[in-house]
Structure 1
Amino acid sequence: MSSYDVAVIGSGPGGYVAAIRCAQLGMKTAIIEKYNTLGGTCLNVGCIPSKALLDSSHHYEDAVKHFEEHGIEVGDVKFNLEKMISRKQGVVDMTTKGIDFLMGKNNIDVFHGVGSFKDATHIQIEGEKKETIEAKHTIIATGSKPSTLPFITLDKERIITSTEALKLKEVPKHMIVIGGGVIGLELGQVYKRLGAEVTVIEYMDRIIAGMDGAQSKEMLKVFKKQKMKFALSHGVTAVERNGDEITVKANNLKKDEEVEFKGDYVLVAVGRHAYTEGLNLDAVGIPTDKRGKVEVNEHLQTKVSNIYAIGDVIEGAMLAHKAEEEGVFVAETIAGQKPHINYNLIPGVVYTWPEVASVGKTEEQLKEAGVAYKSGQFPMRALGRSRASGDVDGFVKILADKDTDEVLGVHMVGARVADLISEGVTAMEFRASAEDIARMSHAHPTYAEAVKEAALAATEDRALHV
């Protein structure tokens, strides 16, 4: 029987990063993955493939709608969906092979199969063969799966989740998206760009409900300009398939009346749920909450002190980079170090175009908490760089403490704000004030100038270019 200092169950961003950090710290490490490829949801059927399709469809849309205004004449532009999907898979394959390389480089033993607890220090792996390993410490990093509604039958052909949406063989005529969150909006925009009619049905009264209200409002305006349709404050009650036609019934919550939507594909994008099937948690006495998440303490330990859990299986935002931070945190904790994670400074991003990014508190959260704050906002269309590229939608908004001027939240909509949000994270990690940001030189012309201008706006309304 092989023995390890640490065994990691699950090879997504949290799991493989945890394994690498454990190995770096001198621990003999194993990683267990039920699928044939490493990388988990993010690399195989989530973050990476969806961004590949977003980029490909964006290039196509630019060629059709925007090249001419730049003086580029390309004639009759067509897309090849099969080739687009093939390229996406190529990106995935290259990325997962990169994880294989990292495992080898760090001398991490890889086991393919379902890992389940026999007891607190022994894990049974059922793959091509059945074997058992011993581990002083185990990290549960098994991630999440797409959620659905109890009355919806996912046939994975026309009533689909994000997994199937990444490999369709045709562009839908009318894709109905149930859920106006990150996944639904990103994949909805992909197929809208390729010619589908897209209708988003959302239970809440706004899209991306967890983000700042100003971002929701701006993106609704942008999406409508892009001809996407929205049914907000609608609760879906039934999804029925008749041949190639899907009927979605919903209750208009404001008018209390039933409405119907008809399309040829329905994407169910109502979130994700923790995945712990097959772990045999009962064998070690590890409970889950009513949503199936593993309960942990501030050190991310379960009730069994040598077993930890990270990422989507525990409380908090289901984000790859949050899982990565937790993977490093646990590895360093096991090694006797004293790491920290500031969960308030885990950024959230929507990779539509324009992109959406946030860190810290929203205006709604500050109001609810009774925090006195000030707000500075600057429109992207006032930037020379935005006008040069033609990406004029969006803004940067900075929220700061009214008395101390400490930055409490940064919220962005615009070109490349997925990258730009790191400026907000860095500033807040070092507890910068709005004036600190306002006094730092930002290169001209750049999108980042909007951050400086928003900080100026929050500092005694001193924005220079509006």
Structure 2
Amino acid sequence: MADHQYDVVVIGAGPAGEGAAMNAAKHGKRVAVIEDKLQVGGNCTHMGTIPSKALRHSVKQIIQFNTNTMFRDIGEPRWFSFPRVLKSAERVIAKQVKLRTRFYARNRVDLYRGRAHFLDQNRVEVQGGIAGREILCAQQIIIATGSRPYLPEDINFTHQRIYNSDSVLRLSHTPRSIIIYGAGVIGCEYASIFVGLGVKVDLINPGERLLSFLDGEISDALSYHLRDNGVLVRHKERYSSVEADDRSVVLTLESGKKIRADAFLWCNGRTGNTDRLGLESIGLEPNSRGQLAVDEHYKTEIPHIYAVGDVIGWPSLASAAYDQGRSASAEILKDDYIRFVNDVPTGIYTIPEISSVGKTEEELTDAQIPYEVGQAFFKDLARAQITGDTVGMLKILFHRETKELLGIHCFGDQASEIVHIGQAIMSQPGDLNTIEYFVNTTFNYPTMAEAYRVAALNGLNRIF
């Protein structure tokens, strides 16, 4: 059996693998992608970003229907089952798979179905594929295998009432109550989704506050609104045991508390998908969470083998993964486009959503940087009053003396869209990166973007 020869072999067809493969193919390289799932798109499309955000959108529409007085004249509040709401996500997933499959075909990237396993530093075997055993040989290899939920061995995830952030998408009913363990991004997003469906939610946070990497004021706002919507948040709690039977799940905490619910959802950490790649045969060793170390060009300890996306850890975002993949292939191509992705905005799709870029107040205070704050509350914006989405705020942090933008933090409807205006101005050179841009620019009215002008005036009025 002859080996298949390629310039670049990419392992994984998620955002990182797609970014790497498309960039290399468009520059004339012969590229192959190995994917062990039946369809392209990776965890992002099938288990993570796309389904959870589609779920969130549907639940947000349900909440708007049930709280809008105009609809109350038509009928009583309505609640929808989790499986019914999930169907909207399935339609989006199908469209995304069709789109991405077309990308590979149009760019003449060979797609191999099966599990990748290293034979040596230049040869990868495709196991379990339709065509049987195949061997791909390449000058450069990019590992973009993504991640999966970290599952502790002392919890029985085969039980019908115990779920993780992947398996919850197979939930066939709507539980009356659910315990969510882990209050990171995924845990907070699912807490918003389930409470929006009328489910009683206990959110267990091993840390001291929600999403501690956020600006403190934004974190506090999220905590308040989750509680206001009915989520019971418990901080500084760790599990001792999780026991389930045919009727319920009981979570016992180290503090001695016991919580009973219809279902249990584990959202506490992820593991890189490296355990079945045969990395021991090429001398690569992942860390305890299955993640690979890379340099600023995404090279592993083996110079011609790269790693990108969730498999290298932070920031574990689809948006960043795509850019990391492009950068890795740009390094292979010796292209001018290469950057180490370390300035990505956060996008957290809770209800309301959160997005930020740049420094937080805590970071600026610790660094003893003289900054000031400009605020715009959505309740005061005409566009928010029209749509009814009045919860939230935009906060701009800027240097008191130079007026340089230091951080943009947004909480509320369309936050992940609004933040990009501030991100674009922050990236400008010299005097163009100042809060005065927002005062000297005319924004459409009424829009949510107008919040920048309001917040800029608010901040500049604080300077004396």
CA drift of 1:354 comes to 1.3
Distance 1:445-1:156 versus aligned 2 partners, 3 A rule: farther
Match of 1:38 in 2: 40
Match of 2:80 in 1: 79
Report if the CA contact (8 A) 1:63-1:74 is conserved. Answer: no
2: CA distance between counterparts of 1:117 and 1:320? Answer: 25
Report if the CA contact (8 A) 1:344-1:360 is conserved. Answer: no
Match of 2:91 in 1: 90
2: CA distance between counterparts of 1:288 and 1:80? Answer: 41
Task: Name structure 2 gaps, 5 residues minimum.
Answer: none
Pairing 1:31-430 to 2, within 5 Å after superposition: 31-66=33-68, 68-69=69-70, 73-75=74-76, 77-128=78-129, 129-155=132-158, 157-251=160-254, 257-341=255-339, 343-430=341-428
2: CA distance between counterparts of 1:413 and 1:332? Answer: 35
2: CA distance between counterparts of 1:313 and 1:401? Answer: 36
CA drift of 1:119 comes to 1.4
CA drift of 1:299 comes to 0.8
1: CA distance between counterparts of 2:269 and 2:327? Answer: 26
Distance 1:74-1:341 versus aligned 2 partners, 3 A rule: farther
Match of 1:254 in 2: none
Distance 1:340-1:74 versus aligned 2 partners, 3 A rule: farther
Match of 2:446 in 1: 445
Report if the CA contact (8 A) 1:274-1:313 is conserved. Answer: yes
1: CA distance between counterparts of 2:152 and 2:441? Answer: 49
Q: Between 182-191 and 123-132, report the one with greater CA deviation.
A: 182-191
Out of 17, 20, 23, the residue aligned to residue 18 of structure 1 is 20
Report if the CA contact (8 A) 1:222-1:393 is conserved. Answer: no
Secondary structure in 2 aligned to 1:145? strand
Distance 1:423-1:260 versus aligned 2 partners, 3 A rule: same
The one-letter amino acid of 1:272's match is: R
Report if the CA contact (8 A) 2:346-2:356 is conserved. Answer: yes
Secondary structure in 1 aligned to 2:58? helix
1:263-303, CA deviations, whole angstroms, 9 ceiling, x for partnerless residues?
01111111212221221112222232343311111111111
Report if the CA contact (8 A) 1:294-1:314 is conserved. Answer: yes
1:288-319, CA deviations, whole angstroms, 9 ceiling, x for partnerless residues?
23433111111111111111110111142110
1:236-278, CA deviations, whole angstroms, 9 ceiling, x for partnerless residues?
2221113221111224xxxxx4211110111111121222122
Q: Between 381-390 and 81-90, report the one with greater CA deviation.
A: 81-90
Among all aligned residue pairs of Structure 1 and Structure 2, give the percentage whose two residues are the same amino acid.
30
Distance 1:185-1:315 versus aligned 2 partners, 3 A rule: closer
The one-letter amino acid of 2:80's match is: F
Distance 1:109-1:344 versus aligned 2 partners, 3 A rule: closer
The one-letter amino acid of 1:157's match is: Q
Secondary structure in 2 aligned to 1:166? helix
2: CA distance between counterparts of 1:456 and 1:119? Answer: 61
Report if the CA contact (8 A) 1:115-1:125 is conserved. Answer: yes
CA drift of 1:420 comes to 1.2
Report if the CA contact (8 A) 2:308-2:324 is conserved. Answer: yes
Report if the CA contact (8 A) 1:199-1:228 is conserved. Answer: yes
1: CA distance between counterparts of 2:155 and 2:59? Answer: 29
CA drift of 1:414 comes to 1.0
1:70-114, CA deviations, whole angstroms, 9 ceiling, x for partnerless residues?
676245635354433233222212211211111001100000111
Secondary structure in 2 aligned to 1:89? helix
Task: Name structure 1 gaps, 5 residues minimum.
Answer: 252-256
Report if the CA contact (8 A) 2:250-2:258 is conserved. Answer: yes
The one-letter amino acid of 2:454's match is: E
Q: For the aligned residues, what is the CA RMSD?
A: 1.8
Secondary structure in 1 aligned to 2:334? coil
CA drift of 1:153 comes to 2.7
Secondary structure in 2 aligned to 1:234? coil
1:415-461, CA deviations, whole angstroms, 9 ceiling, x for partnerless residues?
11111111122112215111223322221111111122223333343
Report if the CA contact (8 A) 2:65-2:77 is conserved. Answer: no
Question: Aligned pairs, how many?
Answer: 456
TM-score scaled by length of structure 1: 0.93
1: CA distance between counterparts of 2:309 and 2:325? Answer: 8
Report if the CA contact (8 A) 2:324-2:340 is conserved. Answer: no
Secondary structure in 2 aligned to 1:116? strand
1:304-348, CA deviations, whole angstroms, 9 ceiling, x for partnerless residues?
111111011114211001101111111111111133436442011
1: CA distance between counterparts of 2:91 and 2:319? Answer: 23
CA drift of 1:152 comes to 2.5
CA drift of 1:392 comes to 1.2
Q: Between 69-78 and 136-145, report the one with greater CA deviation.
A: 69-78
The one-letter amino acid of 1:23's match is: A
1: CA distance between counterparts of 2:73 and 2:323? Answer: 44
Q: Between 344-353 and 293-302, report the one with greater CA deviation.
A: 344-353
1: CA distance between counterparts of 2:250 and 2:72? Answer: 44
2: CA distance between counterparts of 1:300 and 1:437? Answer: 36
Match of 2:11 in 1: 9
Report if the CA contact (8 A) 1:197-1:228 is conserved. Answer: yes
Distance 1:209-1:149 versus aligned 2 partners, 3 A rule: farther
The one-letter amino acid of 1:227's match is: G
